[in-house]
Structure 1
């Protein structure tokens, strides 16, 4: 009896020895008529975020969603209270808001600008009146108290991540859909304090914590002075977060996750600067995350030879990817357990469709797991939207013909489906982001095209750059990382803004490249720089720093500071993505993306893969599929050139 009792006690003590993961996803897009708030596409973010979390081990039963009318102020309070009661010390909680945001008059005198930031629940009004004085707004003061209570409950072994895909700026938007965009909710005759501004999101309130409170990170889609835009009918931050979560490296921190998010948003919403605050150097989910999903579940079985997967283009399940179907209880890929194979024939954001070689024995989706055999990296393709300023229909037809002939995409009539916007200013056709309608080319002197031929060339440049920027090869056998460091290493922190983005000026800053090999193989590396408009330039090696293959060999488990290459910078002033490639074979992307490509054959399979992207501009469509010969790793570093 004593032995049985002891066993029971040990079992109960160890029952919660692992962390549970919880999430609250709040999406408000269809505000009541008469509230003063316009409709936004927040509900589209729910599946995007839920899928991303479930692929990271969050059980669907631990994910709570509040959609539209469920997300009143009272509904938010009740949901947060319920989750707090369920959680135990050491658990992980993610809270995601997709909604409007608004500044509101400060009601307790704690804000230098006399304005609180707030999230706008379903039952909040946009304007001050005798009946509505802001009582249903979810102020930053209240959010601060909620965060404190949650952190105290989770304890030092737990973690709390807040994601805010909303904004609080009162500026007007032009054409694109913004979350927020209303002026501050203030009483009559209220006066703002002059020249008072805030850094960051201005959403984190300082409230007393227990000494053993959980680490906390908040990621916001925009700073306190910016609008937060949508991209292809989804929140730009939600989209970037889901993509970043699909392929993670070893010992990944929240800072590294944010850098991937910032890299993605630099492309889809160039005017929007995401913000990260809190304990940013902690490991993501306490290190309990999936670097790359080894297998995927089925969403449904349409018929015995047609299936729908719970993953899509966000997880890089592109058209042409070869899959293998195994029993759900298979612990790893085993060719002897393969039931059937097939190919993905259509891919959306969060789901993909595959045709199988033979019938499945049952039609119960839970009976199967899908493993990736040959990964397809898709084709270079963009969806182009013409603004009303473009009156020349013949030019539109020439662009449409060019895209079709070269298999580079299509012209769309809905801006929410577009990857880029073409508009006309004076005699020039310019490319803009569909999210915030900012110019993709930051250089005013070179951004315009006068002819259809030049416009098509610029569309291809953008499409190719965007494709390579998004390219993810995450074979951990070849994992590496790199960063820029200032000439005086002690000054490194002075180059980092509050979000950890590395900044350089055009006057006296000098930096070097520092490369780290995290693998157990000696690796060769090469680095490209990709601008917002898609322009690609060699970064290492380059014409002024022609390092040989052997000089770019990094021994296993070591770092190397490349002191022989000294970098200084000029305009344009923008955020730029450095894209690094590593392989166990010598690799050099410089001749692949310059004029040298016409006289030199690619010797590394990864070089050959990238070289194919240039061929597509000449009508040579190719199925960029990894058949096992492309062995390498890609990673990014984002930096910003500033004018000072």
Structure 2
């Protein structure tokens, strides 16, 4: 009896030790010239996020980073698959995207406004070109939602999935006024010429986050609302640009403050973004969050 109890305790201990923190960081600052996307400073975000994770109980071996040409659609899909395969019950998963964003024609009728939001991966073009490029290398919100739910199921109710999207779907996709303002997105809709968005006929297919029994909680933070511009932040101290959401997230989680709920963290995050923009109305960015439970304590590591 004692032997069996010993084996049971040993098994439980090994299982607990197997639980870990895992991260996938996608950082795309330089796109192919022919893609139509101009340079942003996503590479600087990569350093901040990696530092933040290493200081919060993440091991470098469990942090996967894909930058620029490495972050093409095939490689990002493979990275999601690898993360899913390695995830065990109780894991905390952190996904971070610093890149351009773009709205595109809804392909399954699940959107109220007839448009999918997407992240612009390295091999995704700016223009819809019939027969040549029709959006297959964009990462649609539907695809991201499927991966989030797969990870939530694998991590279980003791795990967690946190997603940070430092991109937007407004602006020009270029430097604003050609001066010192970098924008991470475009208001140009990726669709055939003459496309008019219409409310989807299958909105029941929407993958909006919600509590699911035995699934881990999940939180998705986006840099701004769909009609707002995501400006990069210039740090006078570091003398370089960063993603606004990335820098605010990094600064807030390096502070000694504890957050009793996700809602409390969101409020603090918005205040930090307001500080970084100098409270200028022309630069207003409203951090947008979707989550399965805003009342649980917020942290990015187990």
What is the number of equivalent residue pairs in this alignment? 279
Distance 1:89 1:285, change over 3 A: farther
Residue 299 of structure 2 corresponds to 285
When the two structures are superposed, what TM-score results if normalisation uses the length of structure 2? 0.85
What are the equivalent positions in structure 2 for 1:246-325 lying under 5 Å apart? 246-250=254-258, 252-269=260-277, 270=279, 271-278=284-291, 279-285=293-299, 288=302
Shift of residue 181 of structure 1? 2.1
Q: Secondary structure of the residue that 1:43 maps to in structure 2? A: helix
CA RMSD of aligned residues (A): 2.4
Residue 147 of structure 2 corresponds to 146
Deviations 1:522-558 (A, max 9, x none): xxxxxxxxxxxxxxxxxxxxxxxxxxxxxxxxxxxxx
Distance 1:215 1:260, change over 3 A: same
Shift of residue 89 of structure 1? 1.1
Shift of residue 112 of structure 1? 2.2
Q: Secondary structure of the residue that 1:16 maps to in structure 2? A: helix
Residue 156 of structure 1 corresponds to 157
Deviations 1:410-448 (A, max 9, x none): xxxxxxxxxxxxxxxxxxxxxxxxxxxxxxxxxxxxxxx
Structure 2: tracts of 5 or more residues without a match? 201-205, 235-240
Q: Secondary structure of the residue that 2:35 maps to in structure 1? A: coil
Residue 182 of structure 2 corresponds to 177
Residue 32 of structure 1 corresponds to 32
Deviations 1:7-42 (A, max 9, x none): 344212221225411111110011011000001100
Give the structure with the higher percent helix.
2
Distance 1:103 1:79, change over 3 A: same
How many angstroms apart in 2 are the aligned matches of 1:140 and 1:255?
23
How many angstroms apart in 2 are the aligned matches of 1:160 and 1:143?
12
Residue 190 of structure 1 corresponds to 195
How many angstroms apart in 2 are the aligned matches of 1:147 and 1:4?
41
Residue 64 of structure 1 corresponds to 64
Distance 1:145 1:208, change over 3 A: farther
Higher relative contact order (CA 8 A, sep 6+): 2
Which one of 235, 252, 258 corresponds to residue 244 of structure 1? Answer: 252
How many angstroms apart in 1 are the aligned matches of 2:267 and 2:208?
25
Shift of residue 68 of structure 1? 0.7
How many angstroms apart in 1 are the aligned matches of 2:300 and 2:143?
27
Q: Secondary structure of the residue that 1:240 maps to in structure 2? A: helix
Distance 1:21 1:107, change over 3 A: same
Q: Secondary structure of the residue that 1:284 maps to in structure 2? A: coil
Distance 1:48 1:156, change over 3 A: same
Shift of residue 206 of structure 1? 3.0
Residue 222 of structure 1 corresponds to 224
Shift of residue 191 of structure 1? 1.4
How many angstroms apart in 2 are the aligned matches of 1:44 and 1:76?
20
Q: Does 1:235 align with 2:243?
A: yes
Residue 53 of structure 1 corresponds to 53
How many angstroms apart in 1 are the aligned matches of 2:85 and 2:56?
23
Give the structure with the higher percent strand.
1
Q: Could you tell me whether the CA contact under 8 Å between 2:48 and 2:250 is conserved in 1? A: yes
Shift of residue 114 of structure 1? 1.5
When the two structures are superposed, what TM-score results if normalisation uses the length of structure 1? 0.41
Structure 1: tracts of 5 or more residues without a match? 197-203, 289-644
How many angstroms apart in 1 are the aligned matches of 2:99 and 2:300?
28
Q: Could you tell me whether the CA contact under 8 Å between 2:259 and 2:265 is conserved in 1? A: no
Deviations 1:196-229 (A, max 9, x none): 9xxxxxxx83389852111011111111111111
How many angstroms apart in 1 are the aligned matches of 2:158 and 2:300?
8
Distance 1:62 1:182, change over 3 A: same
Q: Secondary structure of the residue that 1:135 maps to in structure 2? A: coil
How many angstroms apart in 2 are the aligned matches of 1:238 and 1:62?
20
How many angstroms apart in 1 are the aligned matches of 2:172 and 2:122?
22
Distance 1:165 1:9, change over 3 A: same
Deviations 1:500-525 (A, max 9, x none): xxxxxxxxxxxxxxxxxxxxxxxxxx
Q: Secondary structure of the residue that 2:169 maps to in structure 1? A: coil
Distance 1:113 1:251, change over 3 A: closer
Q: Does 1:41 align with 2:41?
A: yes
Shift of residue 115 of structure 1? 1.0
Q: Could you tell me whether the CA contact under 8 Å between 1:228 and 1:272 is conserved in 2? A: yes
Q: Could you tell me whether the CA contact under 8 Å between 2:58 and 2:301 is conserved in 1? A: no
Residue 238 of structure 2 corresponds to none
Shift of residue 249 of structure 1? 3.2
How many angstroms apart in 1 are the aligned matches of 2:193 and 2:29?
28
Shift of residue 137 of structure 1? 0.8
